[in-house]
Amino acid sequence: MLAVLSRFEPSLECELSTLRPHMQTGFPWHSPEQGHEHLGTADQWWEALLPIFQRAFQAAGLSNTRALALSREVRTAYLDPAGWTVFDDVVPALVTLHAAGWRHVILSNHVPELTRLTETLGLRQHFDEVFSSATIGYEKPHELAFRRTLDQLGNPRDVWMVGDNFNADIVGARRVGVPAVLVRSTHDEAQYQAQSLSQLAQVIAA
């Protein structure tokens, strides 16, 4: 959203602290207990978020009309690969685990265009499938987010979840009986933890 303001309202001074309070509710993952299968297309999904962006832009000092207009630019700005960075340990970890016989799948609370984003970032080749909550209709840790993904994969016997959010990734995986590794963060209730992805192979092998 700051990128949108910088492009379309370069004279407007706005800090992230002005926008952030208006972004704490309203996204599908803020209410993971509620499904959103009615948002069946990418356009419908993004359209549902416009009121959130609009309120934040209004807080920055824009009129209702201008705020709505710029809200429609957030989608393009968000999907710009220039705004994304792939961590250094990602590809080496994927290659190492693949060599050990593992297949990789993404399950993320994300936007409908997640598959396209992984392609532009050069990551798609490392994953058999990409599943976004936006297209599944349920957010992690909802059980159906995991169930539907596992069903699509043919319910493989050996599965691990890897994620950086204890509630969404670890708790969600537990609900369907899948062991999970918490990465880049810590939590007292996480049985498996790794500070970086480079430790994953060792943790899973143990």
Average pLDDT over residues 94-114: 97
The burial of 102, by beta-carbon neighbours within 10 Å (0-12 exposed, 13-18 middle, 19 or more buried), is given as middle
Residue 165 Cα to chain centre, angstroms: 10
Give strand pairing partners of 192: 181
- Give the separation between CA 115 and CA 76, rounded to whole angstroms: 15
pLDDT one-digit tens code per residue, 83-95: 999 999 999 999 9
Residues 97 and 152: their CA atoms lie apart, in Å, by 21
At residue 59, the pLDDT reads: 97
| Average pLDDT estimate for 165-173 | 97
Give the residue range(s) of CATH 3.40.50.1000 domains in the chain. 87-205
pLDDT bracket for residue 102 (50, 70, 90): very high
> 87-205, what's its fold?
Rossmann fold (3.40.50)
Residue 163 pLDDT? 97
pLDDT of residue 206: 87
Secondary structure string (H, E, C) spanning 59-90: HCCCCHHHHHHHHCCHHHHHCCHHHCCCCCCH
Instruction: Give the residue-averaged pLDDT of 159-178.
Output: 97
Rounded to whole angstroms, how far apart are CA atoms 164 and 201? 16
pLDDT digits 0-9 by tens, 116-141: 999 999 999 999 999 999 999 999 99
User: Which pLDDT band holds residue 184 (cuts at 50, 70, 90)?
Assistant: very high
Grouping H, G, I as helix, E, B as strand and the rest as coil, residue 130 is strand
How confident is the prediction for the chain on average, in pLDDT?
A: 97
* d(C-alpha 90, C-alpha 183), whole Å: 12
Neighbours of 143 (CB within 10 A): 12
Indicate the residue type of 19. Answer: L
In whole angstroms, give the CA distance from residue 46 to residue 56.
Answer: 15
